[in-house]
Amino acid sequence: YQSTADGGSQSNLVVPMGPPGAPDSKGLIYYGTVCEVNGELWMWYLGLGDHDEKRHYRICLAKSKDGRRWEKPALGAIEYAGTRQNNLVDLDGGRFSVAGCVVYHDPAEADTARRFKMVFTGAKYEGLRFGVAYSADGVRWTESPRNPRGALKLEPQGGIKWQGAYYVNGQG
């Protein structure tokens, strides 16, 4: 938040928390990714809603044409607070709390079901071992049957594709 000339404050958050009942109404964390998809910026981030009894973060999606004004599209993928009119992506139906995700968009991928790739951590796998998931649209994700991955515990915080290989950065 920034101070204004009249002593008030103004938010400079690019993606603010959602209204009551939204899956990011209680909090949001950018342990996610921004990718350019068909000339538009897509941001995957973690949201915490006010209908959760405990700390349960789910992956949300926001879109922007300029990187300053972001919209939270009604994706219809996951039910939250009695409605599917929200911006939750479908990773295992939102059943486990996610601690971080890195998304790669590879429009040249021959297998259209794998044009989006994700590395994620969360409560599903012991400690911070990570999982891998694939998606055709960046909204509905299918986990790899080889999950969990990683010999080391890792909290992903960024990634790149370089010389044909996918790299994920993080701490662990």
State the alpha helices, DSSP H only, in the chain: none
* pLDDT score, position 7: 56
* pLDDT score, position 128: 63
State the DSSP code for 93.
G
* pLDDT score, position 122: 87
Whether pTM exceeds 0.95:
no
* pLDDT score, position 1: 39
State the DSSP code for 16.
P
Count other C-beta atoms under 10 Å from residue 132's C-beta.
Answer: 19
* pLDDT score, position 12: 65
CA 52 centroid distance within chain: 18
Q: In the block, which residue shows the tokens 């990570």?
A: 130
Please calculate the CA angle 112-139-76 and round it to the nearest 5 degrees.
130
Average pLDDT by stretches of 10, the chain with 172 residues: 49 84 94 94 96 92 95 97 97 93 95 96 81 97 93 78 88 76
* pLDDT score, position 158: 86
- For 92, phi then psi, to 5°, come to 55, 40
- For 131, phi then psi, to 5°, come to -115, 165
| Residues 90/77, Cβ–Cβ less than 8 Å | yes
* pLDDT score, position 154: 72
71 Cβ partners below 8 Å, 6+ apart?
A: 62, 63, 64
